Amino acid sequence: MTIVGARPQFVKAAAVSRALLEKGLKETIIHTGQHFDAGMSDIFFDELGIPAPAHNLAVHSLGHGAMTGRMLEGIEEILRANAPDLVLVYGDTNSTLAGALAASKLHCPVAHVEAGLRSFNRRMPEEINRVMTDHLSDILFCPTRAAVDNLKREGLERETHLVGDVMYDATLDAVRRSATRENVAVRLGLAPRGYAVATIHRAENTDDPVRFARIADWLAAAAEKQPIVLPVHPRTRALLNERRPGGKRVHLIDPLGYLDMARLLSQAAGVFTDSGGLQKEAYFHRVPCVTLRDETEWIETIDAGWNRLWTVETYRERSEIADYGEGQASLAIAGILETFLGADRAA
């Protein structure tokens, strides 16, 4: 049983779901509803061919405690009724933690995709979610060697697997699917490599007025050098409309589907974001990124010179990142799950 709730999880689940189908593993999806509007949810299921969720909890727009608690309650009820062999969770959202908690309390094995990532900033809700999920999980799928090392330091070596990054699998598929789509930048009158893409959504940036003002000023300065296309997360629309950083040089647009976003990224000159997933997607498209945070869990993108923090002026020397693999992470995950479930049933 797969549990998803947010845009990045839909993208990762699409790649893994195809691999599970190839292995003949039956998958049922629970959508927590964390991203609930059509632009952040439905379009991803439609475009990426993800099996329709069997359950939608419609839990959203609440504080962390209320959201996680209601998800936990709803997921537990579904798990009790269906008794799955394993629960699969992704990333570091409230949906991730609620799924892992519900399953572990019912003694159902948990597998975590993107295990071992650490920003070492406990003020981030995502950091708490990912650490707790790793310690609740029976199978840990790591995208990088650094993630494996993090888990070893925490005593989590059993059932830890370095599989590569499922987002790379998804990006390769999106490149193929989006090749014939019109770039939304064209409708804005922007030439290929003549614009940057930006996103802002993390609570650490949007909930602190002083910090948000600093980021808005930073974007306004960046827009003087090149236009910026900014798909607006619902939580930041009002804030950006109020400040209008960069004026007409910053193009505020509605959230994009994954394929349209892939097309936009593929022809961008730069990416400015506080999204963990977008930092990697920028690298997959070989577009330089600036992370609008004070740290990142994807340290290899900085080490390889494709990413830098907004508080740092220059990039390191550029190189390729071998850890992410060659687009076969999803098949590796499906193969490990097939073996695990086979052994479990035999026992």
Q: Give the single-character DSSP code of 248.
A: G
Q: How does strand 29-31 pair with strand 2-4?
A: parallel
Other Cβ atoms less than 10 A from the Cβ of 187: the count is 10
> Is 251 an annotated catalytic residue?
no
* Number of residues that this document lists for the chain: 347
Give, for 18, the enclosing helix (H) or strand (E). helix 7-22
Structure tokens at 280: 């990697």
Question: 103: closest CA among 78, 128, 126, 125?
Answer: 78
Residue 346 CA to residue 328 CA, distance in Å, equals 27
Q: Are 35 and 41 in contact (CB under 8 A)?
A: yes
Q: Which of 55, 201, 251, 285 is catalytic?
A: 201
Backbone dihedral region for residue 115 (phi beyond 0: left; psi -120 to 50: alpha; all else: beta): beta
Work out the widest C-alpha separation in the chain, in whole angstroms. Answer: 64
The CB density around residue 49, as the number of other CB atoms within 10 Å, is 11
Alpha helices, DSSP H, located in 231-275: 237-243, 258-266
Catalytic residues: 201
